[in-house]
Amino acid sequence: MRSLFVTGTDTGAGKTLASATLLHAARARGLRAVGMKPVASGCESMPGGWRNADALALQSASEPRPVYEDLNPFALPEPLAPELASRAAGIEVTAEPILAAFARLSTHADMVVVEGVGGWAAPLSATLDQRDLVRAMRLPVVLVVGLRLGCLNHARLTADAIRADGCELAGWIACGVDPLMACREENLALLDARLPAPRLGYLPPMADPQPAELAHRILLP
């Protein structure tokens, strides 16, 4: 089983829900699966330090449970783009701590699900892009498509960018982020026909989605 990098068509596309569901899908198949959120902005101060809600969701979905500092090496307080949030915190996001944490997580897991930030081209710092991490980790990419108006354009552009950057697009997951989206099934059919990778699942709009209960909806690439 391969580890995966999860990216999205944009911020709010459903990456964390999809990542946590992938973890539960892997665990349901008897695999040791742990999550990772290398860079997270919008963190809260807690007794153990700065913590991010998305990273905590991945930690909760993991088995074995990773230490937070490995799961989220760069926890940035301000809810801004990582490059701006790290600047505000006086921190430089670099690849070395992330790769070291990924290596530690990999020694205790059959599969590591690494969740990116925002969309594929969102920079991590002035000198580090998400594609750099994917190449260094040698991970296939799963694209989360937030189903809403404009998703066809965003999904096709992102898929093209992933492949143009020399990375493998292993599959995509549709996430129903807009419960009022018109012609949802028709849009899914258009995405199926045009994206150059298989659909791994569809996570429908839900008021309180539970990744463990949605795991049967996801295929592992």
User: Could you report the per-residue pLDDT of 161-186, keeping only the tens digit for each?
Assistant: 999 999 999 999 999 999 999 999 99
The pTM score is 0.96
Q: 67, 69, 73, 114: which is closest to 92 by C-alpha? A: 73
What confidence category does residue 142 fall into, taking pLDDT thresholds of 50, 70 and 90? very high
Residues 6+ apart with CB under 8 A from 151: 9, 145, 187, 191
Question: Is 37 noted as a catalytic residue in this protein?
Answer: yes
Q: What integer best gives the mean pLDDT of the chain? A: 96
Give the active site residue among 15, 24, 27, 37: 37
Distance CA 205, CA 71 (A): 27
**Residues in the chain, total:** 221
Q: Which two tokens stand for residue 78?
A: 């301000």
